[in-house]
Amino acid sequence: MTAIKNYLSLVKFSHTIFAMPFALIGFFLGMKESFHTGEWWGRNPFQKPENISSPYWFLVAKFILVIICMVTARSAAMAFNRYLDRSFDEKNPRTAIREIPKGIISPNSALRFVILSCLLFLVSCFFINNICFYLSPVALFVILFYSFTKRFTPLCHLVLGIGLSLAPIGAYLAVTGVFAVLPILFSFAVVFWVSGFDIIYALQDIDFDQSQKLYSIPSAMGKAKALHVSELLHVLSAGCVVAAGLYGNFHWIYWIGIAVFVGMLIYQHSIVKPNDLSKVNIAFMTANGIASVVFAVFVIADLFLS
């Protein structure tokens, strides 16, 4: 049990709360589309048995596979980031307590965990459908590539956002096997939302990043300007969820969800100031955790109750 706890801590499993709700939005969007079209199992390596008339068993299987994909992909990305940044983490007082610098998990063990997570992700994608399997190496490249970006571009926050934005598109593809505008709008919302709050989180390491010649928006622009960039990105994120609401003809339940989501964006910017970073963790974890979970609940409720 101790080893499991160590690996869960290594990948910050609690941070799954950011992308998982948007993956569920994508899944249930695809599920509703399947209800509408009557197509349940196309473009899949499996065939629906002739003696089963209900497709629900198939959706349950896909739901489980989507959850496995989310967990394994994110675990691979986080563990790889910890493995690649281990020398920096040793020097940074804020991160020196992490599992690899403290010797709780060896670098080689972390790398093996990354490889295992990637393999489980690829296998799960194979059992979902063909398009998810064909695109799975692209997804892995994006989420693993993020770990290199802080070494050469301050736009690393956007790369992280793109990685997490694959969740709603991927989950929708898992059910339908085709691309659609609505999940893409939600993915753009994730890009801007995650990029914005990652900039806030990076404010904690501005001095360290500058001393190690690591790139980030705060280290390149300073605290005040970085917060303005974060605000702009969050305005764009809010615009995307509003656009999704209009395009998808959502009802009043959805708009309550938007109010909560936007409210949490405003709240986190109200408590983090250039000269006061004491509430960064509240903004990062609490505000964004509430934003994603509550928003997803209202979106899914709107899909099936309105």
Q: Which two tokens stand for residue 282?
A: 């509240």
Kindly state the average pLDDT of the residues 4-12: 88
**Cα Rg for the chain, rounded, in angstroms?**
20
**CA–CA gap between residue 297 and residue 40 (Å, rounded):** 24
Length of the chain: 306
* CATH number for 173: 1.10.357.140
pLDDT in tens, 277-297: 999 988 888 899 999 999 999
CB 29 within 8 A of CB 172: yes
Is the pLDDT at 225 greater than 90? The verdict is yes
* 255 contacts 306 by C-beta, under 8 angstroms: no
Q: Is 279 helix (H, G, I), strand (E, B) or coil?
A: coil
**pLDDT of 200 above 60:** yes
- Tens digits of per-residue pLDDT, 64-74? 999 999 999 99
* Range(s) of the domain holding residue 255: 2-305
The model's pLDDT over 230-278, given as tens digits with 9 standing for 90+, comes to 999 999 999 999 999 999 999 999 999 999 999 999 999 999 999 999 9
Residue 43, Ramachandran bin (φ over 0: left; ψ between -120 and 50: alpha; else beta): left
Q: What is the 3-state secondary structure (H, E, C) of 23-45?
A: HHHHHHHHHHHHHHHCCCCCCCC
Q: What is the mean pLDDT of the chain?
A: 91
Reported as a pLDDT band with limits 50, 70 and 90, residue 22 is very high
Looking at the predicted structure, is the pLDDT value of residue 169 above 90?
A: yes
pLDDT tier at 39 (50, 70, 90 boundaries)? low
| Count of other CB atoms within 10 angstroms of residue 94 | 10
Mapped to the 3 state alphabet, what secondary structure does 64-89 carry?
HHHHHHHHHHHHHHHHHHHHHCHHHH
What is the pLDDT, as a whole number, of residue 61? 87
Q: Count of domains in the chain?
A: 1
| pLDDT (tens digit per residue) in 109-124 | 999 999 999 999 999 9
Residue 53 has pLDDT above 80, yes or no: no
Helix (H/G/I), strand (E/B), else coil: 273: strand
13 — pLDDT class (breaks 50, 70, 90): confident
Start-end of H helices in 129-155: 130-149
